[in-house]
Amino acid sequence: MLNRPIRRVLAAPFHRSNKTIMDRQAKDAPLDIAIVGCGIIGTVLALGLLKRDINVRIYDQAQSLREIGAGIAFTANARKCMSMIDHRIVDCVTAVATANGDPENPNNNMQFIDGFTHDPDDPTADDMTGKTLYKLCAGPRGFEGCHRAQFLDAVTELIPEGVNHLSKRVEEVVDDPNGGPVTLTFGDGTTATADAVIGCDGIKSRIRQLILGPDNPASYPHYTHKIAFRGLVPMAQATAQLGDYRARNQHMYGGPSAHVLHFPVAKQALMNVVAFVTDPADWPLDLAMSQPATKGEVAAAFASWGPTVRSIIDLLPPELDKWGVFDAWDHPAPTYARGRVCVAGDAAHAAAPHHGAGAGIGVEDALALCALLEGVQRSVRGQGARKETVLKVAFLAYTAVRRERSQWLVRSSREAGEIYEWNDPVCGADMAKGHEEIKRRSHKIWYFDIEGMLDELKMEYSRRLVPEL
């Protein structure tokens, strides 16, 4: 709760005591929420809560604001959620997003093609002629790439001064069972208090560990046995090698136990390339998820592929990054909350990137939490509800409504990777079957009933709240 000075009351109307007035001031004070993690989801959530007259402080262990990774895309449903959180967030997407294809006539398709099959006796021949290019329309502006760091920079500029607190690594969170504030203890020995804590601290979330327990395998992400090699290519080089259409439009190339994705970012100044390779080895959790790599490693993995894919790999810089792909599918979190502490985004349901929807689902979480906490504030102010009680109710409702869809995404993202890599037991190497299966799954993500989610949240909150009032 804010440490606002309470003015001395000389003559309380109707002979109310000072304690009564202080209780009224406490009830009318805004909620005070601590967010752990100042990445995309934490920042978007903070903007939504601030817009709803809820006090927010963000704590992050980093010494400076930064976002890892290269490309990210938001489809129409994610942008609609953003507009309902704070319309300025959509403006941030527009400011940094890159049109797919011709900016005057954008191509809204995700595109899939066989990148492996070719004539081995003529390794330099055109291997794309005669192949089907499968297209999946994502709707108006449905596939626009952003550079993660540019988008985070844009939304962070909207955060008021004094909200972000860096170099604050959370060690413990204690939820006072007697209704006092939740206390956060940081690695530097300092503490902070809040009415509730929301962990948006990513795939290795400390808050998830505190909710589920250190011995619970669901407290930690697990290796999917996929490596992602990432690189950015100057668009001039990409168009010279691939032609204008291929370089400036998203393409995904399928093949055995690997696949390659590229799409334009940075207002088409760069082509973002991600090459996924199946890895039978282990990747220890204590090893950083990003490791240095060389183009030679990627080239070796795709040496038997068609000339188009090999030419894309040849565009990569000599040194690049490789990422171990982790997710939360092997051991899904059984709950997203305990008491007045909850998790959102990757901290709750980290997914492999094969649907390109992890951030979008996290934005849905942020909208859900904004709606619920706005309802909590109304309950406290209008109905005299106990703040600590209704916060717990809100987080229970959040888990009840959000868990099924978000965990489905975790599973489907893992399975989509196998479809792209011809390992799915039904689709195999049949790209037509694979395209139809990806279409079915993508539509479930894109055509989500946002208003229905908000109605369900309201119903769950109200149903659980009545016995508590």
Calculate mean pLDDT across residues 240-249: 95
Answer whether 34's CB lies under 8 Å from 196's CB. yes
- The average pLDDT across 427-454 equals 97
More confident residue, 3 or 224: 224
Task: Count the domains in the chain.
Answer: 1
Mean pLDDT of 333-344: 98
Quickly tell me which residue has 């082509």 as its tokens: 271
Q: Where is pLDDT greater, at 341 or 65? A: 341
Backbone φ/ψ region at 183: left (φ over 0), alpha (ψ -120 to 50), beta: beta
pLDDT on residue 1: 35
Q: Check whether 430 has a pLDDT greater than 90.
A: yes
Residues 302-312: pLDDT tens digits? 999 999 999 99
Q: Is residue 250 part of a domain?
A: yes
Residue 16 lies in a domain: no
Kindly state whether residue 114 falls inside one of the protein's structural domains.
yes
State residue 67's pLDDT score: 55
165-174 confidence digits (pLDDT tens):
999 999 999 9
What share of the chain has pLDDT > 70, as a percent?
92
| Residues in CB range of 106: below 8 A, 6 or more apart | 99, 100, 141, 144
Q: Is 294 within the bounds of a domain?
A: yes
pLDDT(4) > 80: no
Compute the Cα dihedral for 466, 364, 435, 352 and give only its sign: negative
pLDDT value for 443:
96
pLDDT tens-digit series, residues 22-37:
455 466 789 999 999 9
User: What CATH number corresponds to the domain at position 71?
Assistant: 3.50.50.60
**Burial, 156: exposed, middle or buried (Cβ in 10 Å; 0-12, 13-18, 19+)?**
buried
> Please, are residues 448 and 77 in contact by the beta-carbon 8 Å criterion?
yes
Residue with structure tokens 């090893």? 287
47 sits in which H/E element: helix 40-51
Is residue 6 in a domain?
no
Note whether 207 and 201 are within 8 A (CB): yes
- Predicted confidence band at 16 (pLDDT cuts at 50, 70, 90)? very low
Q: Is residue 8 part of a domain?
A: no
Residues involved in catalysis: 230
User: What local confidence, expressed as pLDDT, does residue 11 receive?
Assistant: 32
pLDDT of 70 reads 62
Average pLDDT over residues 341-360: 96
Strands (E), 266-385: 270-278, 290-294, 319-327, 337-338, 341-343
Out of 42-51, 143-152, 415-424, pick the least confident: 143-152
- Give pLDDT tens digits for 206-218: 999 999 999 999 9
pLDDT band for 266, please (50, 70, 90 cuts). confident
Average per-residue pLDDT for the chain: 91
Looking at residue 466, its pLDDT comes to: 67
Determine contact, residues 75/139, Cβ cutoff 8 Å: yes
pLDDT at 64: 77
Q: What is the mean pLDDT of residues 356-363?
A: 94
Task: Assess if residue 25 is contained within a domain.
Answer: no
Average pLDDT for 63-92:
84
Range of the domain at 112: 31-468
Q: Taking residues 133-149, what's their average pLDDT?
A: 82
- Whether 71 is in a domain gets the answer yes
The arithmetic mean of pLDDT across residues 232-239, rounded, is 96
Residue of 74 and 194 predicted with greater confidence: 194
* Interacting residues of 392 by C-beta distance below 8 A, sequence separation 6+: 337, 339, 340
The per-residue pLDDT for range 95-122, each reduced to its tens digit, is: 988 888 888 888 889 999 999 999 988 8
Please tell me the predicted confidence (pLDDT) of residue 123.
Answer: 72
Mean pLDDT of 249-263: 96
